[in-house]
Structure 1
Amino acid sequence: MALNNIIRKAAWPAMAAVLGTAIVPAASGPALAQYTIEDIIRNAPDPEKPTPYDSRLGRLSEVVGAVHYLRNLCNMQSEPEWRDAVQALIEVETKDEPKRRARLTAAYNRGYRSFASVYTSCTAAAVRAEENYRNEGATLATEITARYGN
Structure 2
Amino acid sequence: MKRLVASGLAAFAALAVAVAPLAALAQAGRAGRPAAPAAEPTPAPTPTPTSAPAATARPPDPAVNAAQPTPAASPTPAQPEAPPPYEPQLLRLAELTGALAYLRDLCGDGDGAAFRAKFADLVDTEGTTDARKESLAGAFNRGFRDYELTYRACTPTAREIVARFLDEASHIAKDVANRYSD
With normalisation by structure 2, the TM-score equals: 0.57
CA distance in 1, matches of 2:72, 2:79: 19
Residue among 101, 120, 123 paired with 1:68: 101
Q: In structure 2, what is the Cα distance between the partners aligned to 1:97 and 1:128?
A: 35
Q: Which of 81, 84, 88 is the matching residue for 1:51?
A: 84
Runs of 4+ in 1 over 2 A off after TM superposition: 29-37, 76-79
Offset from partner CA, 1:53-80 (integer Å, 9 cap, x none): 0110111011111111100100163530
Give how far 1:90 is off: 1.0
Q: How far apart are 1:45 and its partner, in Å?
A: 2.5
State the match for 2:155 in structure 1: 123
Compute the RMSD of aligned alpha carbons. Answer: 2.2
1:7-22 correspondence runs (5 A):
none
SS at match of 2:134: helix
Asked whether 1:139 is paired with 2:171, we answer yes
Q: Following superposition of structure 1 onto structure 2, how do residues 70-85 of structure 1 map, counting pairs within 5 Å? A: 70-75=103-108, 77=110, 79-85=112-118
Aligned residues: 116
**Unmatched tracts of structure 2, length 5 or more:** 1-64
Is the alpha carbon distance of 1:52 and 1:31 closer, same or farther for their aligned partners in structure 2, counting shifts above 3 Å? same
Q: 1:142 to 1:36 in 2, by over 3 A?
A: same
- Deviation by residue 1:31-65 (Cα, 9 ceiling, x = unmatched): 7678988xx64xx521x220010110111011111
Structure 1 alignment gaps of length 5 or more: 1-28
Structure-2 change in CA distance of 1:101 and 1:72 (3 Å): same
Describe the shift of the 1:36–1:135 C-alpha distance in structure 2 as closer, same or farther (beyond 3 A): same
79 and 139 in structure 1: CA distance in 2 versus 1, 3 angstrom threshold: same
Distance 1:82 1:34, change over 3 A: same
Larger Rg: 2
* Greater strand content: 1
Question: Percent identity over the alignment?
Answer: 29
Does residue 1:112 correspond to 2:108, yes or no? no
CA distance in 1, matches of 2:87, 2:109: 34
* Aligned equivalent of 2:24: none
**Greater relative CO (CA pairs within 8 A, separation 6+):** 2
